[in-house]
């Protein structure tokens, strides 16, 4: 589930490791489905232990630990992964541990379903993997003209298009529904039928919603999986307008109930009155 606001919250939660030296790295024994860690642990230790952290960054839905030599260790949480500095939700799902020189710090990677990934890339590998051909611009940096350039000729429904990480990085199923509701755009409307004025509204709404969600440290849904770096829940779920609110009244028009449809095997929530298809 973690989307841009949740991953950005994870990133901010471990900023204290910037400038610290990595003193130990451990793949924690776990009886659950193993996560993908590449390359092997001996190589990761050799390249990282004793080295200083230059910066903690984010690219799309990934937390990036950048070293002084521009090697980068990436945490890709996928559905249920968390990057933590405090007690994990459960000990049996801890997968990876790193220790640092400053203040006996450590960070943990926890993953209930084991769908996440951890991988180490050198600078060339990183630049190639995340070139604009493989990952779109960050969702916090979009503009109306940029979105029109990216999607304007596509015949795909706008909701499905926004989930394409090769086009725009960071938006997932939850925030796509929220963005389109506030922008009053029907989720099934084809991209090639959206006007520049509407693209402008989608862009500004995207930035506003994502920044607000970051300020509230992301959304913790009913399954309780997502937590911030201190193992506390986010708060933006209390501000959701349509996501997972099928049958409840729209908070904008107040007289139409939220509808759920399935697009590209994902649930979409919207208001038929506020988001007309025409």
Q: CB of 63 within 8 A of CB of 75?
A: yes
Percent of the chain scored above 70 by pLDDT? 99
Using alpha carbons only, give the angle 166, 171, 172 rounded to the nearest 5 degrees: 105
Residue 104 clears pLDDT 80, i.e. is over it: no
Residue 64, token pair as written in the block: 């990036």
Q: What is the 3-state secondary structure (H, E, C) of the chain?
A: CCCHHHHHHHHHHCHHHCCCEEEEEEECCCCCCCCEEECCHHHHHHHHCCCEEEEEEEECCEEEEEECCCCEEEEECCCCEEEECCCCCCHHHEEEEEEECHHHCEEEEEECCCCCEEEEECHHHHHHHCCCCCCCCEHHHCCHHHHHHHHCCCCCEHHHHHCCCCCCECCCHHHHHHHHHHHCCCCCCEHHHCCHHHHHHHHHHHHHHHHHHHHCCCCCCCCCCCCCCCCCCCCHHHHCCCCCCCCCECCCCCCCECEEEEECCEEEEECCCCCCCC
pLDDT digits 0-9 by tens, 197-208: 999 999 999 999
CATH of domain 139-270: 1.10.8.50
Confidence of residue 103 (pLDDT cuts 50, 70, 90): low
Query: Which pLDDT tens digit goes with each residue over 27-42?
Result: 999 988 899 999 999 9
Predicted TM-score of the model (pTM): 0.96
Distance CA 188, CA 160 (A): 8
Q: Which residues are paired to 21 by β-bridges?
A: 52
Alpha-carbon gap, residue 271 to 21, rounded angstroms: 51
- The torsion defined by the Cα of 75, 77, 83 and 88, in degrees rounded to 10, comes to -140
- Over range 226-232, report the average pLDDT: 94
Q: Which CATH number, 3.40.50.2000, 3.20.190.10, 3.30.70.100, 3.40.50.2300, labels domain 4-129?
A: 3.20.190.10
Chain mean pLDDT for the chain: 96
Query: Could you count the other beta carbons within 10 Å of the beta carbon of residue 136?
Result: 19
Residues 6+ apart with CB under 8 A from 159: 176, 177, 180, 187, 188, 263, 268
Rounded Cα–Cα distance for residues 180 and 202 (Å): 7
Mean per-residue pLDDT for 206-212?
98
- Catalytic positions, please? 2-3, 61, 266
What is residue 86's predicted lDDT score, i.e. its pLDDT? 83
* Shared fold status for 4-129 and 139-270: no
Residue 193 — very low, low, confident or very high, per pLDDT cuts 50/70/90? very high
Q: Is the pLDDT of residue 241 over 70?
A: yes
**Any idea where the domains of the chain sit in the sequence?**
4-129, 139-270
Q: How far is CA 90 from CA 1, 26, 123, 193, in A?
A: 18, 17, 34, 48
**Strand order in 36-38's β-sheet?**
36-38, 117-121, 72-76, 62-67, 53-59
Q: What's the pLDDT score for residue 212?
A: 98
């Amino acid at each position: 589930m973690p989307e841009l606001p949740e991953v950005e919250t994870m990133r901010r939660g471990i900023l204290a490791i910037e400038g610290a030296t990595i003193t130990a790295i451990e793949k924690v024994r776990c009886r659950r489905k193993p996560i993908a860690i590449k390359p092997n642990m001996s190589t990761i230790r050799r390249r990282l232990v004793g080295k200083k952290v230059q910066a903690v960054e984010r690219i799309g839905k990934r937390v990036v630990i950048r070293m002084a030599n521009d090697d980068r260790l990436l945490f890709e949480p996928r559905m249920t992964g968390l990057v933590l500095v405090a007690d994990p939700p459960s000990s049996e799902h801890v997968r990876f541990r790193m220790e640092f020189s400053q203040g006996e710090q450590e960070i943990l990677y926890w993953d209930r379903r084991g769908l996440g990934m951890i991988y180490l890339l050198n600078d060339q590998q990183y630049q190639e993997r995340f070139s604009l051909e493989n990952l779109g611009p960050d969702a916090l940096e979009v503009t109306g003209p940029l979105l029109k350039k990216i999607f304007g000729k596509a015949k795909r429904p706008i909701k499905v298009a926004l989930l394409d990480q090769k086009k725009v990085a960071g938006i997932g199923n939850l925030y796509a529904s929220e963005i389109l509701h506030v922008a009053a755009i029907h989720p099934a409307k084809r991209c090639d039928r959206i006007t520049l004025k509407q693209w402008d509204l989608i862009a500004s709404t995207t930035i506003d919603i994502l920044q607000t969600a970051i300020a509230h440290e992301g959304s913790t849904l009913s399954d309780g999986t997502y937590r911030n770096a201190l193992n506390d829940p986010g708060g933006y779920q209390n501000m959701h307008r349509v996501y997972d609110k099928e049958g409840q009244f729209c908070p904008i028009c107040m007289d139409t109930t939220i509808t759920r449809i399935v697009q590209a095997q994902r649930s979409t929530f919207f208001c038929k009155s506020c988001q007309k298809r025409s």
